[in-house]
Structure 1
Amino acid sequence: MTTPDTGRPRARSTVRSQAPVIGAVAVGGGVGAAARYAALVWWPTPAGSFPWTILWVNVLGCAVIGVFMVIVTEARTAHRLLRPFFGTGVLGGFTTFSTYAVDTRGLFEAGRHAPALLYLAATPAVALTAVWAATTVTRRALIRRQP
Structure 2
Amino acid sequence: MSGLPGRRGGAVRPRGGPAGSAFAGLGAGQGEDDGQARISKAPSDSQRSARQEPRNTYLQARHKRLTARRGPLRALVAVEHSIITAIWHTLTDHVPYHELGGTYFTQRDPERATGRAITALNQLGYTVTLNPIEGTA
TM-score by length of 1: 0.30
Structure showing the higher strand proportion among its residues: 2
TM-score (norm 2): 0.31
* Greater helix proportion: 1
